[in-house]
Structure formats: C-alpha cells, structure tokens
A and B are shown apart, each in its own frame.
Chain A
Amino acid sequence: MAVFSSNPSPRSGGNDAAPANRSSTLPAGFASPAQDYYDAGIDLNRHLIRDATSTFIMRVSGDAMDGAGISDGDEIIVDRSLTPKDGSVVVAVLNGELTIRRLLLTGQGIYLHADSPGSTDIRVPDPAELSVWGVVTRCLHHV
C-alpha cells in the first residue's frame, strides 16, 4: 500500500546493484550503514494492519462520530475481511455513499447509530438491505 514515485537518479546508472534512492537523505549509490538494522524500527503497517490484502485507509468527513473519538478529517483503517458485530464501527453503503456509523443489532431491529448528540440513528428495515463495506479497526485521530 505504500507508494513512491520512482525517482531515478542519473548518478546510479552505472551500478545496477546499488540501492535505489529511498529517501532524500540517502544519496543513490551508497549503502546506508544503518540498513541492516532497518527492521528494528516500529513498522506501523505490521502493528495496525491485520491483513493488508483486505485493509483500506479512508478519510472521515463530518462529525457524526465525534462521540467515538472519530472526527472530521481523521483517517480510519478499514478491514473488509472482518465480520461486523453488534457495536462495531463500520463503513456502510447508504444511498450509494460510504458512511461511517456504529452498527447496533438489537431485538427491535438493525440500526446505524451516530455517536454524537443531535444525530439520528438510521433504522435498517430489512437486514438484506444492510450493506457493510468494511469494519473500522483503528482511527488515526488528528490531535
């Protein structure tokens, strides 16, 4: 999921085996002495993402989930492979739009609940109409 634009450096042309220009602080053509210890750092991908194949990052727009600590502009980690449960924060498809809500499976029916005062819950009349895009596992909250 990580992305670079390839950054060919004219200087490393003569040496194919040289490490490519990984960052602006690493001149092409020189191996970093720290390279062999690279894995000692904390890799957030490994800790925050359970299954990279089915995990996507999305950005929240709106404040209906403020009460859950998920604010406007926050990034969320969404895993499609998880089964949503009662209380799960999910991305659901509502009227053709991706919408974040808390899923409530109650005796009275299925609700997409907004965690902020003043917002109204949405009742899902028919379970077959509930379309969960994925389950939110983390929120990267901007502080």
Chain B
Amino acid sequence: MAEQQRFALVDVNSFYVSCERVFDPKLAGIPVVVLSNNDGCVVARSDEAKALGIKTGDPWFKLAESAPKLGLVQRSSNYELYGDLSSRVMQLLARFSSEQEIYSIDECFLHLHGTDEQLRSRGADIRAAAARNIGLPVCVGIGATKTLAKFANRIAKQNPHLGGVCNLDTLGPSVVDTIMSRVPVTGLWGVGSRNGARLNALGIHTVADLRDADPAVIRAKFSVVLQRTVLELNGTACIPMETESADKQQVLFSRSFATPVTTRESMRQVMSLYAQKAAIRLAKEGQLATVMTVFAATSRFNTTAASAPSVTVRLERPTADPLVLTRAAITAMDSHVVEGAPYAKAGIMLTGLSPAGAEPVFDLFAAGPEQPDIGPLLAQVADKYGAASIGLGLAGLASAKPDWTMARKFASPRFTTEWSDLPVVKAV
C-alpha cells in the first residue's frame, strides 16, 4: 500500500478534568466538573458529568445543592496545572511528527506519513504514550486534510469501539459517507452556528451536503474560508499548518525558526517578540491572562544537544500589558536556555483568561518614567506615620484585599509548578 502524508488531530479528552485526575485517582469514573474564573460556571465536564445532563456554562450555584446527592465533584480552574501538563503533552506529541501545530491548550495537528495501517498504529502509539508518560487520555483523528482529521477525531471520540483512534481512510468510503450524512454541518470545524443557519436555508444540512456542494457557489455566497472547508472535505488540503491561535481559553503563539536559535540573548529577543504578539492578540480579544507557559525545543533529530525547556508561571495580576508579558516571558525562559543548543522552535501560551472589562485593571506597577524622588518621600512618610501608612498602590492599604483576587475555593494544589504543592504519596 502506498505511503501517504496525512494530518492527525490529537486532543485530550475532557482536558481540565483529565488533568485533575492525574494526581487524584479518586476522581476516576465519577462525575467531575471544572469551574470558570471565580467558580462561576461549568467550563469542563467528565463523561459521567455529561451523562448527568450537566452542560458547559451551567452556573455552579444551581448545581451546588444537588452535587453531594449526585456524587458530583467540583474543582476550580487550576491553570498552572493545566498549562504545565499541556506543554508536557505537546512536547511528547512532537516526538511523533516532523511538524506540529499546537492548536489549543489541549489539541494539536501533526503531519504523519505511512500506509493506512501504519498510520492507524501510529495513532495507537500516540494514545498509549500520552496515557503512560503523562496520564492523559487522548483521541487521534487522521485524514487527508485538517478538516477531515478534525472530523475523524470526532468519530474516534464518539465511537469507543475504535479505541480512541480513527483513520478516515481505513473506515471505507461508504461508512464515511453514512457518518457524514448523519452529522449536522454545524458539527464541522470552521462552521459556526450563523453560517449553519444560512447553509440550512440553502438545503445544506449535513456534512455530506456541504461536501457535495459546489465550491464556487459556496465561495460566492459565503467566503473563501468556507470554500476551503468544501475542498478539504473532498480531500484537497488547503489549510496549512499555522503558528498562531486564540480562543476563549487561551492565546497561543508558537513558531519554528528558519535558522536555529543558539544563544540566550537571541532567545530573549524571540520571547520578547512572541510576548508582544501574544499581547496584541489578547488586546484584540479583549482579554487578560493570568498564567503564562513558555517553551522551546531543539529539533527531535538533534540528539547531541537536546533541550526542551518549558516553564509555567503565574502572572502577578491579570494582564494584557506587553511590558509585563515580555518581562515575564524572558524571566521564565532565561535560565532554562542552554547556551549553544540549536533551538528549532519556541512558543508562548497564555491561559486563565478573563474579559478585560470584568475586573478592574490596576496598572499600579506599570513601568513609567523614573521617579527618583518617590523612594525618599515614602521613607519620610513611613518614618513619621508608621510603616503601613503609605506605599505604592495596594502596598499602602495594609488590610485591603485586591478585588481581582479570584475565588478558587475548590482548587487542587499546583502539583507540578509549586514546591510547596507537590502531590503527596502515602507510605503506609
């Protein structure tokens, strides 16, 4: 059988919940939900929670009372943990491919090569490695285009008998056709509900309908973007591997270098550039970030000077400030860069996002012109009226709690990023 190049879409099942389960085996097999910032509403559900009819977006206060009765366990969002496990799983997945696009905190596209059977077994290897090396369950969808790989991933997820891996090519055309004629067109990557309604009005209801539509008509009536979806459904790859993505959960910027980056100084420039790009993206989305993950890696073909630093840091406050983000990125990465190692790629991921308008932004520590007089002035006032009488910003209010401190009442420890929060293993 001929060797082909295929796209694989790998994603972690119920990512946030699965992260919580890695260090708390008691959560296996029971309904678990992860709550949004300030424990407001459900942002992630285990399969068992889905089976209870709990929906994403359900407010927690409505579930809280019945939770004990249902055996439902809740966790606050623990973005340090999710960021760290995300970068681990992405590094692991990169070992399986020459090219990787990190698409979101819990999914990436990979280029894979091989015969149909080799591709399927490669998918099974990926799944086994993620489960064993990190403890996260993943599903793998494989297809001739990114759109088809996404679709295959959906099939893998919804059909447990496939063992979490679906290579569209091995299902057979008639099976694929049957599935496509059952799935509504809005279930497709890149088709929103607005386009969905307009497509329905034209008699295009299912994925199969869209696949069989005239690309030229779709382009004329909709956009070149949706035309690409039609072409991709028919096996013509026209969406390349990208380097940037953003949605409600994270902003991501990662890129492979044309020539390797080999010095700490150059890596600082890379981090500075990426942080500013991420900041622009944040501003565009109207969001603030609380956690940053920076990562870099040498090529997987380079075994003599392999280095793959990945660091997750909590920002001091929710921010979209390019200066703060740049400093954080450089600080986080700097000491982990091995001087002389040929880095082939690097990236920045921002998570723990909240809308910029929702919480007051305290720009107390924003860099400004030098104020050489302030220090002596503060010292004078403190001498006269006591240490807590004056300070910059919140430091001057001894008892004030910052408004933006988020409620994380049900948070698990920062198992992988804080020495004081290490998981405890019993010796009894």
Cβ < 8 Å to B, chain A residues 1-56: 1-14, 16-17, 19-22, 35-36, 38-39, 51-54, 56
* Extra 9 A-B pairs, beta carbons < 8 Å, given A96-B26, A99-B426, A133-B135: A1-B417, A2-B311, A12-B367, A17-B268, A61-B424, A61-B425, A62-B426, A62-B427, A80-B132
Residues of A within 8 A of B135 (CB): 80, 133
Chain B residues with CB under 8 Å of chain A are 23, 25-26, 28, 80, 84, 88, 91-92, 132-135, 264-265, 268-269, 272, 292, 308, 310-316, 323-324, 326-328, 330-332, 334-336, 338-340, 365-368, 370, 415-419, 422-428
Number of cross-chain contacts by CB at 8 Å = 161
How many Å lie between the Cα of A43 and that of B266 in the bound state? Answer: 22
With most chain B CB atoms within 10 A of its CB, the pick from A21, A53, A64, A70 is A53
B106 to chain A, nearest CB (A): 16
Is residue A72 contacting chain B, with contact meaning CB distance below 8 A? yes
B425 to chain A, nearest CB (A): 4
Q: A19-B334, A53-B134 are in contact. Are A59 and B423 (CB under 8 A)?
A: yes
Cβ–Cβ contact B313 & A6, under 8 A: yes
Size category of the binding interface on chain A: 35 or more
Cβ–Cβ contact B334 & A22, under 8 A: yes
Cβ–Cβ contact B268 & A62, under 8 A: no
Cβ–Cβ contact A98 & B133, under 8 A: no
B371 to chain A, nearest CB (A): 9
Residues of A within 8 A of B80 (CB): 3
A-B contact pairs, 13 of them (CB 8 A): A4-B331, A6-B331, A12-B327, A13-B368, A19-B268, A21-B331, A22-B334, A53-B88, A59-B422, A62-B426, A100-B425, A100-B426, A100-B427
Residues of B within 8 A of A5 (CB): 313-316
Cβ–Cβ contact B134 & A54, under 8 A: yes
Partner of B416, one of A1, A20, A63, A133: A1
How many Å lie between the Cα of A62 and that of B311 in the bound state? Answer: 31
Partner of B425, one of A52, A59, A63: A59
Cβ–Cβ contact A70 & B427, under 8 A: yes
Is residue A93 contacting chain B, with contact meaning CB distance below 8 A? yes
B420 to chain A, nearest CB (A): 9
